Amino acid sequence: MRACLVLFALLLVSAATVALGTRDPEVQQCREKCESERHLDKERRQRCFQRCEEKQSGDDIMEGRSESEEEQGQNPYVFEDRHFVTGMQTQHGRIRILQKFTDRSELLRGIENYRVATLEIDPQTFVVPSHWDADSVFFVARGEGTLTSVWEDRRESYNLKQGDIMRMRAGTTSYVINQDNNERLILVKLVKPVNTPGNFEAFFGAGGENPESFYSAFSNEILEAAFNTKRDRLQRLFGQQKQGGILKASQEQVRAMSHRQEEGRGGESKKGTFNIYSQRRTHSNQYGQLYVVDPSQHRQQLQDLDIGISLLNITQGAMTAPLYNTKSTKIAVVVEGEGYFEMACPHLSQPQSEGSTSRGPSYQKVTTPLRQGTVVVIPAGHPSVVVASKNQNLQIVGFEINGSNNEKIPLAGRRNVINQLEREAKELAFGVSERQVDEVFKAQQEEFFFKGPRHQQHQGRSDE
């Protein structure tokens, strides 16, 4: 009996050895490629291994799993509510800051020194003066307000309305009020730190215990000498404010700080804001409008940062043409509405075996539902499309990094780039006659905005 048991155990070991030794060489090569992809984090590398095993078994264990579930852990280009942290909050409003792009993925290394932040404040509310160690460009997504900037010799105030864009230079002390009686004021900001890449801080001079004034970090002797004021008076001043950095203001206070002209030397004034709706529409039809601001058009505000700004207004049920940006990486923020997004990405595709690399790159569909506050990163060269829901219009503001000399290349519609190919190029590239190519690429007569898909995917869940 003992001999039989030993023989049985040997047979099991032998069978296991044979099973391990007969792994499909293509699967083994696939796993080795997963190991070599240094940009993959632990979770994504495990998923890469899993896909390799799916090749061997022929079973797609991911079948039936929704794309929205898939993207929760694997889509580094999409950011939602959970990816924001609260920088400051009171009962009257808050500042939210998106996590660093490279904390999500090394694929976003090219924009690691940029952050996205939002300011949301209630009607008749005041934000305490501060300065940031960062340049920023902001877009007024909703509401009306007044922003005031101060320097040692002047003060400039700007009335803000929806669609306004403004540059705020690093180190500028500023404060904001929401002068409306009913509507919240919402600003969307692109922030570029000047000290530590990807990190910035707010510095409050005016304040007390909450927000804490940076004056409190200095010794009493220094403050007494600097202000020529006794210690007890300084302590009363810098210990009084405890209500936070976003405060309710009286109607009289709001009125006094609203609609002021800019004040400076000799009463001079200059315009610091511009409105995107005053720009010429680059594309417009019944399905949507596109406004684009090139850095060269507004040199003082945008050119040295090399940031362009775009605004998409997509009619409900409509879509953009598939397109790509030649130079710009676009950080898109959903301002209003719902819909969904798709992008072709070569960086997340399943690794090919060594013997199949001659076929060229492989692409994976990146897709996500869109709702107010969703942030999507679209790298240069990546074809993408946006679809508005059938229930409401969709509005998206885009901050376009490396905006100078960027072009948007349409991949469908009346002026799509494929239509410019020579007959021989079309026939060689597609392997069919030019007539067959043109039957597809010249069928759509609209330009840039089209009627959307009949069956939309992301209505509560995602599916193929």
Percent of the chain scoring above 70 in pLDDT: 78
pLDDT at 286 over 90: yes
- The mean pLDDT of 228-237, rounded to a whole number, is 91
The answer to whether 339 touches 332, Cβ cutoff 8 Å, is no
- Interval 128-144 mean pLDDT: 95
pLDDT at residue number 298: 81
- The overall average pLDDT reported for the chain is 83
Q: What is the mean pLDDT of residues 313-337?
A: 97
**pLDDT confidence of residue 134:** 96
* The predicted structure's pLDDT at residue 279: 84
pLDDT at 113 over 80: yes
**pLDDT higher than 70, residue 461:** no
User: Which CATH class, in words, describes the domain spanning 279-347+363-413+448-463?
Assistant: mainly beta
Dist CA 119 CA 459 (whole Å): 29
Q: Please report which confidence band the pLDDT of residue 296 belongs to, taking 50, 70 and 90 as the band edges.
A: confident
On the question of a common fold for 81-204+245-273 and 279-347+363-413+448-463, the answer reads yes
CATH class assigned to 81-204+245-273: mainly beta
200 vs 27, more confident: 200
Q: What is the mean pLDDT of residues 391-415?
A: 95
Note the pLDDT of residue 226.
95
Q: What is the pTM of this model?
A: 0.80
CA distance 125 to 389: 33
Supply the pLDDT for residue 146: 94
What is the rounded average pLDDT of the residues 101-115? 94
Taking the domains of the chain in order of start, what are their residue ranges?
6-74, 81-204+245-273, 279-347+363-413+448-463
Distance of alpha carbon 138 from alpha carbon 273, whole angstroms: 10
Q: What is the pLDDT of residue 463?
A: 35
Residue 66 confidence (pLDDT) above 60: no
Q: Return the percentage of the chain with pLDDT > 90, whole number.
A: 64
